[in-house]
Structure 1
Amino acid sequence: MNKILFVLLSLLTSLQSYSQEQNEKEVSFLLLGDIHYDLLEDHDMEWLSTKPDDLRQVTKEYSVFTKNTWPEFSRIISRQVQKHQPSIKALLQMGDLSEGLAGSPQKAIQMANSAFKAVNKMNLKVPFIMTKGNHDITGPGAKEAFEKVYLPNMARLAGHPSLQSANYTTTLDDVLFVCYDPWDRNPEGLQQLEKSLAGSKATYKFVMLHEPVIPVNERCWHVFRQDNAKRMQLEYYTAFGEKPYDTVNISELLTSN
């Protein structure tokens, strides 16, 4: 979570600079990477104890980070939303809102509710647009909790009546955000992504997904690493400011270095 503090204004700076060059109105978006919100009471510790490395991460890292840094971190976010100039138009959260690994369907629901309760307490007055992360759907009952808890809250926070999946678009004035879910089994997911980009008249187009599209090297964790054809297709759709759709990809890679 400490890394997130370092990158809070990374997207703001780049978009503001581009706007200045084009003599357009400046806009700001606050970019948040992996949060891994984690409370020990949201885990089935008996189940977690069967996974030593996950147990270590939960008990020694993420639950500790949440306890020690979330109160101040959330205050910083709220303060930035209220006072940053140019004013912040929306928050963009790149997945892994929660740690996952709850250990049971009941605990998975509890964990999801805890994460959104923490977001709600920030009392944000701007859209909170988030994409799916692997930790959000990891562990017994996590995928079902995503359907039951995540999607309704994601819709509400982003300003949509409802969402049927984590593949969705949000347009704010002349800025389009396309959230892409690489774990969705819909075989037409990439085609839908292309249609969303091609059909939008927005000046700025951003594709949001959790895993990096273009890895630093082939050993780097990246989307569709087992399906090179799909990865190349996604690269083509989301090339950094290149044709065909003049899009910029936002992924975990941009928020973790």
Structure 2
Amino acid sequence: MLFLLVCLPGVVLSQDVSFIALGDMHYDRLQDHNLDFVMSRPQDYKQILNEYPQYTAFYMPRFLQLIKKQTNAQPGVKAVVQLGDLVEGVAGSAALARQMNRGIVDMLYETGLPVPWVLVKGNHDVSNSPGQPEAWQEVIRPFIEGQIGKFIGHGMYTYQISPNTEFFVLDQFFSVDRNLPESEMVDFLENAFKGSTATYKFVLTHQPVIPVTQRCWHLLSGIRRPLKDTVLRESLLNILAKNKAIVLCAHLHEYSVLSRKTKSGNVVQVMINSVNRGLNTPLPNVIHREYKGEGWIDSDASWQPETSETRRKILREEKKHITDFQLMDLPGYALISVSDKTPQVTLKYFNGFAEVPYQTIDLSKLMLTGKLPF
């Protein structure tokens, strides 16, 4: 446990520990792209030409200053976590990829946080673009290691922010980077959990573990990468539940909280999005509280029809295990706090540039009961 000594001899009080969590940010500048290459990637062309460079220029510096303000204002903040897709990628050349990464590293340094950055590798960070994975190794990896004071290799590592609170950071297994066998993430977590003495465990991953939309862009889905071991995902979910590890993820540009039952208990997953499209983020018009499963595919049958039957099967099965769920379009940031006194893990989610939370959820209770408080 972590204790704070007070002036009375022999008296100790437990101390809350917190961290701030950010989702996708997609730092981008037009000068960091070979535009001929970008035009060959129609799925990225529109966003690069019309969205991310503008968001970066107008909103990201202010957002990072807000995060700095909150690290000082909120009690016990020990780190700021960013859950992948820190940059847009798709630079088009090795030199431009390094230039893009140096740009975001400079911005993070200039923010002047009083606590370390803990970064997760996203698919855009090592996208299928010349030199992108190497640029991550040459620029982003040394930045992370300087922040947390330890070697992280290719991006799968652990980091403690207190004796009782530990992060377990996964590599990305979505786009072609090192093309690791997916069994490595399960082996990593199983071994790291065995060696951990922390009560509070957080698995930091860019791709979600549990699907929250009809796209099924989650780890071990078997869609983008054939899954040879059909029980591997079940093993992963049971390892998470057994160790009471809370999953923090991003990737889908939505805010979501859910609970999923396994044979070993419930798994809680929180998804965060930090792509701010304005200074005043409106509250969501629609909050999805029903996990529709294969019903999502029926509502958007035009999206990748060649995989619809596979996704339908995945979501039909997944729906059987979801105990509670919410999903909304609400970019922002999260403050997650743990208490040794209760014990308790609390999520406060802030919309956009807000300084008071939009929503507060007791994640410990959600893990125990499988039910959200509304």
The answer to whether TM tops 0.5 is yes
Aligned to 2:210: 214
What residue is the counterpart of 1:205 in the other structure? Answer: 201
Gaps of 5+ in 2: 1-12, 251-255, 257-270, 274-327, 329-374
> Once superposed, which parts of structure 1, at least 4 consecutive aligned residues long, lie more than 4 Å away?
none
Could you tell me how far apart the structure 1 residues matched to 2:68 and 2:172 are? 30
Q: By percentage of residues, which structure has more helix?
A: 1
How far has the Cα of 1:157 moved from its partner? 1.8
Q: Distance in 2 between matches of 1:89 and 1:221?
A: 30
Q: Which has the larger radius of gyration?
A: 2
Work out whether residues 182 and 224 of structure 1, in 8 Å CA contact, stay in contact via their aligned partners in 2: no
TM-superposition CA deviations, 1:186-229 (whole Å, max 9, x none): 65442122111121001111110000101135643211211353
Unaligned runs of 5+ in 1: 1-22
The residue number in structure 2 matching 1:33 is 23
Does residue 46 of structure 1 match 2:36?
Answer: yes
For residue 186 of structure 2, what is the aligned residue in structure 1? 190
Counterpart secondary structure, 1:238: helix
Structure 1 CA distance, aligned partners of 2:172 and 2:236?
A: 10
Q: Name which of 146, 149, 154 aligns with 1:159.
A: 149
Question: Could you tell me how far apart the structure 1 residues matched to 2:215 and 2:31 are?
Answer: 35
Aligned to 2:234: 232
Which residue identity is paired with 1:229?
Answer: V
Alignment of structure 1 residues 126-141 onto 2, 5 Å: 126-138=115-127, 139-141=129-131
Per the TM alignment, residue 39 of structure 1 is displaced from its structure 2 partner at its CA by 1.0
2:160, 2:93 → 1: CA distance? 36
Whole-Å Cα distance in 1 between the matches of residues 136 and 67 of structure 2?
A: 24
Distance 1:59 1:131 in 2: 26
The one-letter amino acid of 1:222's match is H
Equivalent of 1:91 in 80, 83, 97: 80
Counterpart contact for 2:27–2:88, Cα < 8 Å: yes
C-alpha deviations, 1:49-86, integer Å up to 9, x for none?
A: 222331211110111111110121111011111222x1
Counterpart position of 1:247 = 245
- Write the letter of the residue equivalent to 1:234: L
Secondary structure (helix, strand or coil) at the match of 2:81 reads strand
Deviation at 1:181, TM superposition (A): 1.2
Measured at CA, do residues 78 and 45 of structure 1 come closer, stay the same or move farther in structure 2, by a change above 3 Å?
Answer: same
Change (3 A) 1:217 1:36: closer
Distance in 2 (CA, whole Å) between partners of 1:232 and 1:218 is 20
Q: Assess, with a 3 A threshold, how the Cα gap between structure 1 residues 135 and 103 changes in structure 2: closer, same or farther.
A: same
- Distance in 1 (CA, whole Å) between partners of 2:156 and 2:54 is 32
Residue 116 in structure 1 maps to residue 105 in structure 2: yes
How much does 1:99 deviate?
0.5
CA distance in 1: counterparts of 2:19 and 2:213, whole angstroms: 28
Structure 2 match to 1:148: 138
- One-letter code of the match for 2:20? L
Change (3 A) 1:230 1:142: farther
Structure 1 residue 122, shift from structure 2 partner: 0.6
* Contact residue 127 and residue 159 of structure 1 kept, 8 A: no
Task: Tell me if structure 2 keeps the 8 A contact 1:137–1:146.
Answer: yes
CA distance in 2, matches of 1:231, 1:106: 38
Does the CA contact (< 8 Å) of 2:122 and 2:172 recur in 1? no
Q: Does 1:64 align with 2:54?
A: yes
CA distance in 2, matches of 1:182, 1:118: 23
Q: Write the distance in 1 (CA, Å) between the matches of 2:216 and 2:186.
A: 22
TM-score, length basis structure 2: 0.58
**What is the aligned partner in structure 2 of residue 55 from structure 1?**
45
2:246 corresponds to which letter in structure 1? V
User: Tell me, what secondary structure is at the counterpart of 1:176?
Assistant: strand
Contact 1:208 1:251 in 2 (8 A): yes
- What code does the residue aligned with 2:16 have? E
- Kindly provide the CA deviation profile for residues 128-157 of structure 1, in whole angstroms up to 9, marking residues without a partner as x: 111110000012111111111121111112
Aligned length: 229
Matches of 1:41 and 1:231, distance apart in 2: 41
Separation in structure 2 between the aligned mates of residue 154 and residue 44 of structure 1, nearest angstrom: 27
